[in-house]
């Protein structure tokens, strides 16, 4: 029998195992997995599901083995905490060439640096998550927790998530009542100085109304779901902005139309015959909104437009708001309205047959002093 066949897998000292568990956060270090390894995923009972994998095999003839195998066999720099699936994958002869030493070292380094960074954060980095969803074209959207965790980094979600489930709501009045009740009970009554992150996949009128009810009373960042890359992460790159288009003749009238064209263009022939103002994306489309800076720019332009309309037409004018927008812009519209100053705002939406827009909600009723 050869010497290599006589070799036994070395026992990894308990101190080394403990250090590896701490550095990995008890999670699989294979990039993209992050599975928690001390609890059964179904029963939630405590259970050790971890494997300690070697980057350079403990035996020279093993996966990625070399002349340093014996020296590195119990060295923590050569060990990864993994789930069974990825432990088997990286050592499988069919795939082993896809996972060279340098790549696995990078997996380990990235994971352990992230765990160190996240666990080193103070309470100031905690954010409260708000999720709101409704049926959209008879489909119930899913907002995954892992996607949320990735989106809010370097912050971390606090334990309790506020869920606003509107999937059983059949009419807009019930939706408005539900949103008001949840906000007043859980957000406005507690007077907490927490930061909130909103993940919303709901009908646009619902998002507008949530923003309106919240106003600027609490700090809320609203995130956008990107279908093309299937995540909620804002881009940090420079993005195109918005333009405001005024009507050619701003004659005095009791009603004006404000068309917000971000996801696409709106057919003016389907609207009431009033002067039309546009807040328009430079390149309207479903992929236009990519960054937080665009949301901030929109908020400034929308605020200025409402003020200009009030100054020109007077406080009794009614603003018919016709949107083609994603959820973060809808939320910002509601939040930007100043309840004690702005004119009445009527929200329009396209009816099911698609041949006209109709009013669906009085988003804001002017307060007469």
List the beta bridge partners of residue 27.
36
- Beta-strand pair 276-281/242-245: antiparallel
Q: Terminal CA-to-CA distance of the chain, rounded, Å?
A: 97
Q: Where are the strands (E) in the chain, listed by range?
A: 51-54, 79-82, 126-133, 156-157, 162-165, 195-201, 219-223, 242-245, 255-261, 276-281, 318-324, 344-350, 357-364
Please say whether the beta carbons of 162 and 190 come within 8 A. no
The DSSP bridge pattern shows strands 219-223 and 195-201 to be parallel
pLDDT at residue 126, as a whole number: 81
Burial of residue 4 (CB within 10 Å: 0-12, 13-18, 19+) is exposed
For the chain, 369 residues long, give each residue's pLDDT as a single digit of tens. Answer: 445 455 788 999 999 999 999 999 999 999 989 999 998 878 888 899 999 999 999 999 999 999 999 999 999 999 999 999 999 999 999 999 999 999 999 999 999 998 888 777 666 678 889 999 999 888 899 898 888 988 998 888 887 889 999 999 989 999 999 999 999 888 776 656 678 999 999 999 999 999 999 998 888 999 999 988 899 999 888 899 999 999 987 678 899 999 999 999 999 888 989 999 999 999 999 999 999 999 999 999 999 999 999 999 999 999 999 999 999 999 999 999 999 999 999 999 987 666 788 999 999 998 765
Instruction: Tell me the pLDDT tens digit for each residue of 4-23.
Output: 455 788 999 999 999 999 99
Handedness of CA 297, 303, 306, 309 (dihedral sign): negative
Q: Which tokens go with 11?
A: 């026992």
């Amino acid at each position: 029998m050869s010497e290599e066949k006589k070799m036994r897998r070395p026992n990894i000292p308990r101190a080394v195992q403990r250090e590896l568990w701490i550095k990995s956060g008890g999670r699989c270090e294979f990039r993209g997995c992050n599975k928690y390894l001390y609890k059964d995923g179904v029963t939630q009972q405590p259970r050790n599901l971890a494997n300690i994998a070697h980057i350079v095999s403990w035996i020279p003839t093993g996966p990625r083995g070399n002349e340093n195998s014996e020296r590195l066999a119990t060295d923590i720099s050569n060990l990864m905490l993994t789930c069974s699936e990825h432990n088997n994958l990286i050592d499988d002869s069919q795939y082993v060439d896809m996972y060279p030493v340098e790549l696995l070292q990078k997996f380990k380094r990235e994971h352990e640096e992230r765990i160190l960074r996240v666990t080193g954060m103070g309470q100031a980095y905690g954010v409260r998550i708000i999720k709101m969803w409704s049926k959209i074209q008879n489909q119930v959207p899913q907002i995954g927790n892992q996607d949320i965790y990735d989106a809010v980094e370097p912050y971390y979600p606090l334990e309790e998530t506020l869920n606003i489930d509107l999937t059983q709501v059949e009419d807009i009045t019930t939706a408005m009542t539900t949103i008001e009740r949840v906000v007043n009970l859980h957000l406005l009554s507690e007077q907490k100085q927490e930061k909130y992150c909103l993940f919303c996949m709901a009908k646009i009128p619902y998002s507008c109304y949530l923003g309106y009810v919240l106003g600027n009373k609490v700090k809320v960042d609203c995130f956008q779901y990107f279908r093309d890359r299937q995540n909620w992460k804002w881009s940090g790159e420079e993005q195109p902005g918005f333009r405001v288009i005024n009507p050619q003749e701003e004659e005095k009238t009791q009603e004006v139309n404000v068309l917000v064209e971000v996801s696409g263009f709106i057919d003016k022939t389907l609207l009431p015959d009033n002067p039309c103002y546009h807040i328009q994306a430079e390149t309207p489309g479903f992929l236009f909104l990519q960054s937080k800076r665009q949301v901030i720019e929109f908020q400034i332009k929308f605020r200025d437009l409402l003020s200009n309309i009030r100054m020109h037409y007077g406080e009794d004018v009614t603003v018919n708001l016709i949107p083609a927008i994603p959820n973060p812009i809808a939320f910002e519209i509601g939040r930007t309205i100043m309840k004690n100053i702005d004119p009445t705002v009527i929200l329009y939406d396209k009816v099911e047959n698609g041949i006209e827009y109709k009013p669906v909600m009085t988003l804001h009723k002017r307060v007469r002093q």
